[in-house]
Structure 1
Amino acid sequence: MTQASSAHTENREHVFYSWAAQETSHPLVVAGAEGSWFWDEGGKRYLDFSSQLVNANIGHQHPAVVEAVVAQARELTTVGPQHAHAVRSEAARLIAERAPGDLDQVFFTTGGAEATENAVRLARLATGRNKILAAYRSYHGSTGGSITLTGEPRRWASEPGIPGVVHFFGPYPYRSSFHAADAAQEGERALAHLAEVIELEGPSSIAAVILEPVVGTNGILVPPDGYLAGVRELCDAHGILLIADEVMSGFGRCGEWFAIDHWNVVPDLICFAKGVNSGYVPLGGVIISQRIADLFARRPYPGGLTYSGHLLACAAAVASVRAFEAEDVLGRARALGSEVIGPQLEKLAERHPSVGEVRGLGVFWAVELVRDRVTREPLVPFNAAGAEAAPMTAVTAACRERGLWPFTHFNRVHVVPPCTTSPEDVSLGLSILDEALAVADGYYTG
């Protein structure tokens, strides 16, 4: 048996895959990766327009990050979270220094779901309140609490979830729930809606509002200017904490350390993971404002994780942050968005009637596909599966056949390559997407 066939067999026999029916799951066996590319056991190369799960912000196998993990492993692989270590302290300092306002303490987790879980726990303990407001069209993780916060169909199978979570509508100008005429009006009406939800739920019972500053998996929804500042004002008016879930949108993805910096808004808690070290070793966490951290100066925080601040993960984070600055990754991400991705996607929209809208920031973009531009009927129905999802399945297959690995969700293709991807490779990927969109055009009825 060859190594490749052995890998296929053992995957089938022993690996249980997430979000998948096991018998119909056919995972690609990845043999290697470098930069913005990865390849299978047969040597076929794919341009990674998904950054895996929108986490490989610094690209694959960055030599400085790999060497930092190796060097730390030689020195000391792990110590429990009850101890201190220089690399853990350095990672926390570097992360806190790049956070806005007085967010100066870091509670480490091993991923984003644990980060949102602990952010909610901190908010409830800090305020003495129970309710958490979370948006529809959001994803906050798949643990018991984080999946309850999530505002999309992956939540349904896990209900009933934790008590006290109330969902609200965030802004989505292209498919406005508020019948808004433009983005500015959408922001105003979304804020009025949130204010009403707060009033009806009882402001004194609400611990926090949690939101993705730029919604990720559920559409790359960039909020209208003024919306996040308005949410901050509503929270301040009622003693409610603001939690920014930056697991996907942070660490360069939107051209800033944190997407919320784009609007100069300071939350009380920031959840991070993914791009902090591009998943080289699992790491996440919550950045905590000093006023919340001070509440636990003499009061124990009732939570913890065996692998909180794992040394190998922290070493990868330190090297990643330093590489981001040495290589101006934030500037490169902004330039990719404004000079390459945005303009070229607009041209794709002009050529393909199936493109209803393109939107994004930095290296965080969505192409929304429709059957009719006038009615905005999606290319596939909401939460489509099986035969109903065939048009998107065909678009995805057309990309992969041509050596492009896309990130797709519902009726959208997301353009989310590593932030370090060259303009030439981004243009190559968009040219492949251009070809694949001819498949979507074949389903256009408008």
Structure 2
Amino acid sequence: MNNKERDEKFFGRGNPSMDLEVVKAEGSYVYGANGKKYVDFLGGAGVGNLGWNVKEIEDAIRKSQRPAYVYPNFYYGKWAELAEILADLAPGNLQKSYRMTGGSEAVEAALEMATLNTGRSKILSVEGSYHGNTLGALSIGASKKNKKFPNLLQGCEKIDLPLNKSRLPEVERLLSGKDVAAIIMEPVIINLGVVIPEAEFMAGLSEICKKTGTLLIMDEAITGFGRTGKMFASEHFNIQSDILCMAKAITAGHAPMGAVITTNEIDKKVGEEIGLYSSYGWHPIAVDASLAALNFLKTNREMLFGNIEAIAEYFKKAISEVNFKKEPEVRILGAAIGIELHDEDYASQIKDKALKEGLLMNTEGSALLFLPNFQMTKDTIQEGINLLKKAV
């Protein structure tokens, strides 16, 4: 029995597998068991912001002296150290972090915080969005994907795209009853192919939330830690969230971790009531990985963020040279690149053909999605674009 047969017999998958068995990942490349090298525009769906197998992070994990496990109700110095770093990096008045194992758990915790803090039961989100695979996260995600679940949360309402000033009266109507605990959204909606809300919408949304006592939750599981050219994407809009979810690049892919961070004001009201026990939240190995990843990000911030700008400009130019069958809508903010093709089958065909050529990417509906790492060179980008041209 080979590995693929064993996988099919014993390993559960929620999504179809790609025809690639990985044996190594290094820098901007993934290597298959077939001996093929793949240019990685996929980036682990936003996990690998620094590239794969970063020596400084790997060394920190291997050389660290740490306990095998720390019970959640004990003190552990590195938990406080990491929480302090997150407070320093996070925008606005966000200060108190809670330990999570990933993005879905962080979203669930944020929803619990919001409903407990406000005493309200409803949640507002953006139609078509994705926030995780737990029941609460599915309840606020894309409606069309979740009709098969009969036990989703009640009181979850959605607003449709586009997110511009024309949408604000609807938001005000939905929040005016003061029964919505929070609105949750990605500040740049990666999972709809890098949809960038208008600044006027985001400013108006923030004001309506303040006026109605509705909490503003930013899900920055993908957009956090530099992805859009700011440390957190909400900084593009000069708004302050009440709760912010983190995951993925918090360890640069070297270990599983998530976090939810909130203000002292909210924490004082819900902190001792909410619990949020997590057996494996911030496991010592993951904490070492996160401390090393965030230290690398901070130490090399000028170089990395400068390269993010260069990556954005180079992709804009390179994509314009690809001969798609129709003129695409290209949406780029930092190292988040969406290419809207307005045809789901066409996008899916390109993704499949690109894999055979040696290029990894994702699709979101009818859009191609590229999430390259921040250290990717122009030569590697061009190598990937050449493979994309072949696929197209």
TM-score w.r.t. the length of structure 1 is: 0.83
Instruction: Report the alpha carbon displacement of residue 27 of structure 1 after superposing the two structures with TM.
Output: 4.5
Q: Which amino acid aligns with 1:131?
A: K
Instruction: Report the alpha carbon displacement of residue 233 of structure 1 after superposing the two structures with TM.
Output: 0.4
For the residues of structure 2 that align with 1:290 and 1:354, how far apart are their CA atoms? Answer: 50
Instruction: Report the alpha carbon displacement of residue 249 of structure 1 after superposing the two structures with TM.
Output: 1.1
Instruction: Report the alpha carbon displacement of residue 26 of structure 1 after superposing the two structures with TM.
Output: 5.7
Instruction: Report the alpha carbon displacement of residue 37 of structure 1 after superposing the two structures with TM.
Output: 0.5
Distance change >3 Å, CA 156–CA 59, structure 1 → 2: farther
More deviation, 339-348/41-50: 339-348
For the residues of structure 2 that align with 1:292 and 1:48, how far apart are their CA atoms? Answer: 40
Would you say 1:368 and 2:340 are equivalent positions?
yes
Q: Contact between 1:91 and 1:315, CA under 8 Å: does it hold in 2?
A: no
The Cα offsets for residues 57-105 of structure 1, whole Å up to 9 and x where unpaired, read as 1111111111222233x53232121122222222111111111111001
Q: Contact between 1:251 and 1:276, CA under 8 Å: does it hold in 2?
A: yes
1:71 maps to which residue? 63
1:355 maps to which residue? 327
- 2:340 is paired with a residue whose SS is strand
Unaligned runs of 5+ in 1: 173-186, 370-377, 381-388, 438-446
Distance change >3 Å, CA 51–CA 159, structure 1 → 2: farther
Distance change >3 Å, CA 214–CA 116, structure 1 → 2: same
Aligned length: 390
Q: Which amino acid aligns with 2:277?
A: G
- 1:75 is paired with a residue whose SS is coil
Instruction: Report the alpha carbon displacement of residue 152 of structure 1 after superposing the two structures with TM.
Output: 4.8
Would you say 1:188 and 2:165 are equivalent positions?
yes
Would you say 1:102 and 2:106 are equivalent positions?
no
Instruction: Report the alpha carbon displacement of residue 420 of structure 1 after superposing the two structures with TM.
Output: 2.0
2:46 maps to which residue? 54
For the residues of structure 2 that align with 1:234 and 1:244, how far apart are their CA atoms? Answer: 15
- 2:190 is paired with a residue whose SS is coil
Residue number among 280, 283, 296 corresponding to 1:323 in the alignment = 296
Distance change >3 Å, CA 6–CA 77, structure 1 → 2: farther
The Cα offsets for residues 181-209 of structure 1, whole Å up to 9 and x where unpaired, read as xxxxxx1102222122223xx2x211101
TM-score w.r.t. the length of structure 2 is: 0.94
Instruction: Report the alpha carbon displacement of residue 345 of structure 1 after superposing the two structures with TM.
Output: 2.4
Would you say 1:336 and 2:311 are equivalent positions?
yes
The Cα offsets for residues 29-52 of structure 1, whole Å up to 9 and x where unpaired, read as 101010110111121010111112
For the residues of structure 2 that align with 1:341 and 1:159, how far apart are their CA atoms? Answer: 43
More deviation, 275-284/115-124: 275-284
Residue number among 336, 343, 352 corresponding to 1:397 in the alignment = 352
Q: Which amino acid aligns with 1:12?
A: E
Instruction: Report the alpha carbon displacement of residue 251 of structure 1 after superposing the two structures with TM.
Output: 1.0
For the residues of structure 2 that align with 1:245 and 1:30, how far apart are their CA atoms? Answer: 29
Q: Contact between 2:121 and 2:181, CA under 8 Å: does it hold in 1?
A: yes
Q: Contact between 1:221 and 1:360, CA under 8 Å: does it hold in 2?
A: no
Q: Which amino acid aligns with 2:8?
A: R
Q: Which amino acid aligns with 1:269?
A: I
Residue number among 231, 234, 247 corresponding to 2:205 in the alignment = 231
2:343 maps to which residue? 379
Instruction: Report the alpha carbon displacement of residue 394 of structure 1 after superposing the two structures with TM.
Output: 2.5
| 4+ runs deviating over 6 angstroms | none
The Cα offsets for residues 305-354 of structure 1, whole Å up to 9 and x where unpaired, read as 111221111111111111112223233223311x2122322443xx4342
2:75 maps to which residue? 84
Would you say 1:418 and 2:373 are equivalent positions?
yes
For the residues of structure 2 that align with 1:110 and 1:230, how far apart are their CA atoms? Answer: 33
Q: Contact between 1:54 and 1:416, CA under 8 Å: does it hold in 2?
A: yes
The Cα offsets for residues 246-301 of structure 1, whole Å up to 9 and x where unpaired, read as 0111111101111001122110000010111123111001111111112146x432
2:7 maps to which residue? 11
- 2:38 is paired with a residue whose SS is strand
Q: Contact between 2:175 and 2:214, CA under 8 Å: does it hold in 1?
A: no
For the residues of structure 2 that align with 1:159 and 1:367, how far apart are their CA atoms? Answer: 34
The Cα offsets for residues 202-231 of structure 1, whole Å up to 9 and x where unpaired, read as 2x2111010110001222101112221211
For the residues of structure 2 that align with 1:331 and 1:158, how far apart are their CA atoms? Answer: 44
For the residues of structure 2 that align with 1:26 and 1:238, how far apart are their CA atoms? Answer: 46
Would you say 1:156 and 2:152 are equivalent positions?
no
1:143 maps to which residue? 134
Please tell me the root mean square deviation across aligned C-alpha atoms, in Å.
1.8
Distance change >3 Å, CA 26–CA 261, structure 1 → 2: closer
Unaligned runs of 5+ in 2: none
Distance change >3 Å, CA 393–CA 135, structure 1 → 2: closer
Instruction: Report the alpha carbon displacement of residue 137 of structure 1 after superposing the two structures with TM.
Output: 2.1
Instruction: Report the alpha carbon displacement of residue 430 of structure 1 after superposing the two structures with TM.
Output: 2.0
1:30 maps to which residue? 22
1:373 maps to which residue? none
Would you say 1:289 and 2:285 are equivalent positions?
no
Distance change >3 Å, CA 222–CA 166, structure 1 → 2: same
